Amino acid sequence: MDYRYLKAFLYTAEYASFSKAAQKLKIAQSAVSRQIKLLEESLDEELIMRSSKKVLLTTKGKELYLVAKQFDEMTDEIFQKEEKKPLRIGILNGLLKNWFTPYLTKYCKKYSRELSIHIEDQPQLKAGIEDGRYDITFSTDNLQSELVSSLKLFREKLVLISKEEIELTRLEQYRWIVFSHGDNLYKISKKPSDTIITVDSIDTILNLVKNNLGIAVVPDHVLKKSENLQIYNLKSLPNSDIYMTTLNYKHMPAHIREMTTIISAK
């Protein structure tokens, strides 16, 4: 099938009129007739029975019209209705809690687009952007490939926190409160603690530490100055760069560009 001439056929079939199809396409009536003829030749099938009084579809023409109309509606949904597309964001818990909120507020005041925001860990965010579950991710992964690319936003500093003073050389003697099994406490301690609480919520982690139920490693930007906690800046704790990652688009869709523009604005 030569898809270049499909619109001429669709409008002629819809209006049962070459002249109305020509008006819709803003071309000459003879051009509409010619395009349909070329479409028929590419299919080696007669689609329209021509008469001086009216336009009639052949059986094959009726079948093609139904399928082509559905195809046309689907392509309109994909390419011409950007304002209705939801934006899907994947983000680390700590980034959502403090850093992202002002940008989200600014975005929502400017746009009325539907949003879905999901908290994930690093591996899940990487998989989510690569398999198309997310339009944008915010994480510490710098992904650069033919498929995706990342933009560095800022550097995140990690700190060890506790309610009371602790012995830094014996971290394993305290209860650990971690976000996942890849938590930085495992990396800075020679031995793991015998008592570990795993919870995928930065708020809960902070509350448990405030209640003197354990120690944790968190980004410093989630801490408030008024919080009465012991904060340890350890050289063994890595500083992480935070990246915004999207798929590599030749022309970035509007629903993604809106957010990236707000994030990148100084």
Domain ranges in the chain? 3-80, 88-156+241-264, 158-238
**What's the pTM?**
0.57
Confidence of residue 210 (pLDDT cuts 50, 70, 90): very high
Rounded to whole angstroms, how far apart are CA atoms 177 and 200? 10
Residue 266 has a pLDDT of 59
Whether the pLDDT of residue 238 is over 90: the answer is no
Instruction: Using a pLDDT cut of 90, give the percent of the chain over it.
Output: 53
Neighbours of 101 (CB within 10 A): 11
Whether the pLDDT of residue 80 is over 70: the answer is no
If you average pLDDT over residues 79-103, what whole number do you get? 82
Rounded to whole angstroms, how far apart are CA atoms 1 and 45? 10
Residue 52 has a pLDDT of 64
Whether the pLDDT of residue 208 is over 90: the answer is yes
Backbone angles phi, psi at 46, to 5 degrees: -85, 125
Residue 211 has a pLDDT of 95
| CATH architecture label of 158-238 | 3-Layer(aba) Sandwich (3.40)
Residue 81 has a pLDDT of 63
Domain at 88-156+241-264, CATH homologous superfamily: Periplasmic binding protein-like II (3.40.190.10)
Rounded to whole angstroms, how far apart are CA atoms 158 and 8? 62
Residue 89 near residue 116 (C-beta atoms within 8 A): yes
If you average pLDDT over residues 48-73, what whole number do you get? 84
If you average pLDDT over residues 135-159, what whole number do you get? 92
Residue 23 has a pLDDT of 92
User: Which one has a higher pLDDT value, 111 or 74?
Assistant: 111
Confidence of residue 214 (pLDDT cuts 50, 70, 90): very high
Rounded to whole angstroms, how far apart are CA atoms 210 and 163? 6
Rounded to whole angstroms, how far apart are CA atoms 11 and 32? 9
Residue 9 has a pLDDT of 92
Backbone angles phi, psi at 56, to 5 degrees: -120, 135
Rounded to whole angstroms, how far apart are CA atoms 207 and 205? 6
Residue 216 has a pLDDT of 96
DSSP code at position 215 = B
Q: Do the domains at 3-80 and 88-156+241-264 have one common CATH topology?
A: no
Neighbours of 77 (CB within 10 A): 11
If you average pLDDT over residues 237-242, what whole number do you get? 85
CATH code for residues 3-80 = 1.10.10.10
Residue 194 has a pLDDT of 93
If you average pLDDT over residues 174-197, what whole number do you get? 91
If you average pLDDT over residues 45-62, what whole number do you get? 85
